[in-house]
Chains A and B, each alone.
Chain A
Amino acid sequence: MKTILVVGNGMVGYKFCEKFVAKEESKQFKLIVFGEEPRPAYDRVHLSEFFENQDAKALEMAPAEWYAENGIELIVDERVADIDRTNKTITTAKDRAFSYDYLVLATGSSAFVPPIKGVEKEGVFVYRTIEDLEGMLAYAAKIKAKNPNAKAAVLGGGLLGLEAGKAVMDMGLEPHIVEFAPKLMPRQLDSRSSQVLQLKLESIGLNIHLSKATNQILGDDGYITGMEFGEDDVLDVEMLVVSAGIRPRDELGKNSGLEVGVRGGIVVDNKMKTSDSNIYAIGEIALYNQMIYGLVAPGYDMAGIAVEQILGKADALMPASIDMSTKLKLIGVDVASFGEPFMPASKGHSIIFENKTQHLYKRINVSLDGKKLLGGILVGDASDYSMLHQIFLNGMAIPEDPAQLILPAGEGGGSFGDVMDLPDKAQICSCENVTKGQICGTIESGESKDLADVVSCTKAGTGCGGCKPMVKDLTEATLKSLGIEVKDSICEHFDLNRQDLYKIIQIKGYKTFNEVLDNHGNGGHGCELCKPVVASLMASINADTANKEYAIQDSNDRFLANIQRNGTYSVVPRVPGGEITPDKLIALGEIAKKYDLYTKVTGGVRIDLFGATLNQLPLIWKDLIDHGFESGHAYGKSLRTVKTCVGSTWCRYGMAESVSFGIELENRYRGIRAPHKIKGGVSGCIRECAEARGKDFGLIAVEGGWNLYLGGNGGATPRHAELFAEQIDNETVIKYIDRYLMFYMRTAKPLQRTAAWQERLEGGLDYLKEVIIDDKLGIAEDLENEMQTLVNKFECEWTQAINDPEMMKRFNHFVNSEEEDDNLVFVPLREQKMPEKWV
């Protein structure tokens, strides 16, 4: 059995292990890995996340057990000190010797600390390891205790420096970035994009100092107090993080006589072999093509080549040119560059789209003949990156007017770039190295029938997930090309989608679930998917309340309350616009007290009463209704709240009566069932205290009327609502919202919020304007009438229920006993109660 020693357990060293043990032949080798740090390899790229959770385990590439399970011996906290190439052995700092057949050097790099006077002072850190970060955290806590407004600087405005800036900001220190060059990220960005990035970063609180050469670090008693740039140019800081570049950790190579580069790095060929044919070097110590590649993707590729070479696959070679394209999210800002980001004017033309107000910059470089994409830069919005990168990598033809590649959709752009135009060899998933050909192939062979199959067969999209939209598009387009209809039918019981069912129920006038199922179903008996959909459609079309056919309602609608963790319910009465009288507020408190309910203000700023048993619900509602409350429909896929700011009724900045209009809107749309919940917001001025742009419909008062925003939401995928109409009066607002909601209710998929619906609407916002404002489809009047019918038919479901003894029967836990559920256990929580924790 041959022995491979891997020196260095960083990301690339780990990747070597992962790729190696995945090979069948690996069983004939013994693999020993040495790590200098006290823990197994972790994701250094996401080091700044350590500040958010301080959980080193979460960053691990794989837990320590993984190595053992795969037959790898992992030795951490032990630096390899020396290589004896003649005897093929290494010696560690703990003076232990190991012999090898193959040696893989993956020692990576260390932070470069420039020789500035005073750099040895306390409070100066580098940004490289978890231990560095722990040191920074401890020091930051110390200086913050003395001075809550303490400042910290980062020396270096490159990629890592900005990450460090984020870390410093997260520690609660005032962050300053000091860069020697006249721009940020000098290696990736041109000056204009760098300015856009700078504006964005300044807007979120980073202080940026460019063209600053640090003369010395100032300090008292050995502690840093500031940085001096010029004679009178001093920045007072109490902590400094140096992030001025990296240096390869090539000392082992140098000491053992391997060929090294003039500026460091161990020279390798395209087999990742060093000048000693039993020794490989990969990652940030490998000098390949006279270059050190400081990105993780080329490092991973090198690890793969070394694995193949050691296993005897001579034809596995590193390509001559390495793609240095990157896309990353830096402090929440998209930054991407690909190909040749800076291109001299002699080689081609650049097309630049810049919008400083939105912190957006896009640049593409095209060949002089205008036929090839050579590279580009994206800041602020990198959603075009995947497609542009593919076009560049595959040398695909580009539109006659290349500007179309980066112009926003609807302004002549957005139409180019069909995934099916990519060549088969185009790499779609770079983490798992899956090509377009493989994705389409698994569908064409019949092996995969849908997206889930494609993902499990090819592993595409299982790494970083960035390629998922492309994988989905490719899957759908391939299925379509094979004549396989991509069904969006609601479940196994219907071959119809929600929109089809809507039309059928409306035209045929069905009144019960069984009628719909018997006439249009597949012969089954329905399920938890189609029943609530049909129930919702009946409500949207006939204004039926959930009381009518309660057994097809989802649990919340069935019991007109929100089921909580232990099977009890919460109760939310409507408080339109958030306006409530003191008497009603007192009544809510007294009712909550009477039934011993846990009380909390909800995310939608209403009052939620938790812990009601099924038997208690009608009693609670009887009391609420007696005090003038009605159902808040918090349990329904229906209008929740219209959130308002106080507006001109009280606010000295208010431009309009946002509360009054909010109440009117909430009362208008209350109870109406839709594909998903709906929220509204009305702000009395541009300060937007009601957060109206985060709602399905939002209004902001401006000079001359309201600006109407549509299709926003919070939730898992937050989206700002889009400006739909400006300076319109109350009547027009209601007309547009009526049409909009009804159009959404008619055409959306089940459980699709307006945001997702609007985003996928073919033709986008412009189409929506044509339908709603210009009445292009000639349905505006119908939409308004349908909405008006629903408004007129509104009835409070709880009033309906408690006045009907037959309906009340369902609110008993047992059919044969008045007793309540005896399985409930509550525990105390901050003077209230909560259900016992789940085991």
Chain B
Amino acid sequence: MTIVSDKYKTVKPEEVAVWFKAAPVTAFPKDGGACVKYKDLQIAVFNFERLNTWYACQNLSPEKQEMVLSRGMIGDHKGIPMVACPLHKKTFSLENGENLNSDLDPIAVYPIKIEDDFVYVGFSE
């Protein structure tokens, strides 16, 4: 199997070079997620309506290298916004990508901005 995880690197807000116009906000479920394609990347985007915040992270679950995180349930773990992988319920912080319930590698997270009811994901290239 090819290791695709190398392609995913956290982008900090100040590192954004490209704001990719992904989809209208209505394309995403409230308090849930969907997947955005950018070049050869798959990015999970979550509309965390209860916090009035949007989050983005890699769609790739680091546990078994499957493209599933956008289909996970979101919520919080002791106050930290998180997504639970649908395969084995591994949870990851949506703020910094850290694995909250075991010792998996962190996932990459990306900045999001909303303009004119459109969702933009920030990439460094």
Contacts and interface: CB of A to CB of B under 8 A. Distances in A.
A65 interface: no
Interface stretch (A395-403, A585-593, A813-821): A813-821
Interface string A555-594: 1001100010111000000000000000000000000000
Contacts of A480: none
Given A524-B79, A525-B50, A823 B4 contact: yes
A744 interface: no
Contact of B1 (A524, A554, A558, A825): A825
Contacts of B77: 492, 527
A559 B31 contact: no
A514 interface: yes
Nearest to B46: A551
Contact of B37 (A563, A810, A817): A817
Interface string B50-81: 11000000001000111110011111111101
Given A527-B77, A815-B36, A839 B65 contact: yes
Interface in B67-101: 67-68, 71-79, 81-82, 84, 86-87, 89, 91
Contact of B73 (A514, A524, A554, A838): A554
A546 interface: no
A550 interface: yes
Given A525-B75, A814-B37, A816-B37, A823 B66 contact: yes
A527 B86 contact: no
Interface string B19-33: 000110001111110
A821 B42 contact: yes
A526 interface: yes
A142 interface: no
Given A809-B27, A815-B27, A551 B66 contact: no
B108 interface: no
Contacts of A524: 75-76, 79
Interface string A514-530: 10000000001111101
A821 B67 contact: yes
A587 to B, nearest CB: 29
Contacts of B4: 823
A335 to B, nearest CB: 39
Contacts of B60: 823
Of the listed residues B48, B60, B75, B76, the one surrounded by the most CB atoms of chain A closer than 10 A to its CB is B75
B64 A838 contact: yes
Contacts of A554: 73, 86
A30 to B, nearest CB: 37
B75 A526 contact: yes
A823 B71 contact: no
B35 A813 contact: yes
Contacts of B66: 565-567, 823
Contacts of A552: 31, 73
Interface of A is mostly: loop
A565 B68 CA distance: 10
Contact of A550 (B1, B29, B72): B29
A839 B64 CA distance: 8
A825 B67 CA distance: 12
Contacts of A566: 66
A372 to B, nearest CB: 50
B30 A551 contact: yes
A525 B81 contact: yes
A559 B73 contact: no
Contacts of A528: 72-73, 75, 84, 89, 91
B34 interface: yes
B50 A514 contact: yes
Interface in A449-508: 492-493
B99 to A, nearest CB: 14
A819 B37 CA distance: 9
Contacts of B27: 809, 815-816
Given A525-B81, A816-B36, A823 B75 contact: no
A389 B79 CA distance: 48
A664 interface: no
A436 interface: no
A580 to B, nearest CB: 31
Of the listed residues A551, A813, A838, the one surrounded by the most CB atoms of chain B closer than 10 A to its CB is A551
A528 B22 CA distance: 27
Interface string A159-174: 0000000000000000
A810 B36 contact: no
A836 interface: yes
Given A558-B71, A813-B35, A823-B67, A525 B76 contact: yes
Q: Which 4 A-B pairs have the closest CB atoms?
A: A551-B32, A555-B86, A528-B84, A527-B75
Given A813-B67, A836-B1, 5 more contacts: A528-B91, A551-B31, A555-B86, A565-B66, A822-B40
27 contacts: A514-B31, A524-B75, A525-B48, A525-B51, A525-B75, A525-B76, A527-B75, A527-B91, A528-B72, A528-B73, A551-B30, A551-B31, A558-B71, A565-B64, A565-B66, A813-B35, A814-B36, A814-B37, A815-B22, A815-B28, A815-B45, A816-B37, A819-B37, A822-B40, A823-B42, A836-B1, A839-B65
